Amino acid sequence: MQAKKLKKLKKNLKQNNATPVSYIDRILSYQKLYDAILPIKLLLNHVLNADHRLQNGLEPQPLPPLLLPDNIQDIIYEYVNTQYAAKDPRGDALWNQLTTPLASLDHDLRDFRDHLSEQYGMWAYTNAVFLQDLSNYLAGASVLEIMAGNGYISAGLRARKLTKAVYTTDDTSWLSENATGHHTVTTVESLDALAAIEKYGQEVDYVIMSWSPDGVDIDWQILQKLRAEYPTIKFLVIGEKDGATDSAIFWQNAKLTLVPELNTHYHPFDLINEQVYLVK
């Protein structure tokens, strides 16, 4: 093998075996790079603040859409012109330094939900203001949360002590795929959704379900059971209609009502248009 080919092979092997940079470390590097570009800096600060709060057992704050402005290159161009005169090669270098990573930055901002699920087992972004809205909406009613995951919704309701009772359940089948499930934020009873409704259906006013798996018709089974056996229970669902969550048959047959007071502070921060529905 030629020396140049061997050197290239070793270089590629080294790159492939390199320790990957963590998501938050990448965000921190962007923060340093774009410190002077305010629209980017604000987005990065939101991400870091949410991660910091979750890491410390606190409820995160609402997020704006984590999307770069359409005119971000114009903003960077104006900034570069304030730093260097026209045709100054240092301006060209700064322009390249700030624009080359934009595609990667955009990708990482859109991937924040993946980071939340992998690091904290959080799929539905249950921020502090939404949890207060939800507590106010329930107005002391008793609640069963099914498919609760790590229990972020139930934990928020319990912390506010405004509900009569909160029963938190999950079948824990996802633990084999995501180790964060071993670190619940409140007590979660190991029960599948249908069994949980059987056990607590006579005791609760509301059933809450968030982010039922895409393409799995357990949500449709739940809805049929509630309709047939517990018609007085109010069913709150968090998900993206005909999108990233729940089954097609569920969305086709569910009678959906958007709840304005629950969607005021629960809005998409990425391309997934999740909303809060009252379902019949």
Residue by residue, pLDDT tens for the chain (280 residues) are 344 444 444 445 445 556 789 999 999 999 999 999 999 999 999 999 999 999 999 999 999 999 999 999 999 999 999 999 999 999 999 999 999 999 999 999 999 999 999 999 999 999 999 999 999 999 999 999 999 999 999 999 999 988 889 999 999 876 556 555 558 999 999 999 999 999 999 999 999 999 999 999 999 999 999 999 999 999 999 999 999 999 999 999 999 999 999 999 998 999 999 999 999 9
pLDDT of 183? 80
Q: Is residue 32 in a domain?
A: yes
Question: Which domain range does residue 196 map to?
Answer: 128-279
Q: Judge if 141 and 262 occupy the same domain.
A: yes
Per DSSP bridges, beta strands 189-190 and 166-170 are: parallel
- What's the pTM value of the predicted model, to 2 decimals? 0.88
Boundary (domain end) residue, out of 84, 110, 136: 110
275, 138: one domain: yes
> In this structure, is residue 119 part of a structural domain?
no
- Strand-pairing partners, residue 190, are 170
Assess whether 271 and 139 both reside in one domain.
Answer: yes
Residues 202 and 98 in one domain: no
What is the number of other CB atoms lying within 10 angstroms of the CB of residue 242?
A: 12
The verdict on 97 and 202 lying in the same domain is: no
Q: Which of 129, 164, 158 is nearest to 266 (CA)?
A: 129
Same domain, 275 and 136: yes
Number of domains the chain is built from:
2
Q: What pLDDT score does 222 carry? A: 98
Q: What is the pLDDT of residue 172?
A: 82
pLDDT at 174: 61
Q: Are strands 206-210 and 189-190 parallel, antiparallel or unpaired?
A: unpaired
Residues 174 and 268 in one domain: yes
Query: Which CATH number covers residue 251?
Result: 3.40.50.150
The reply to whether 98 and 142 lie within a common domain is no
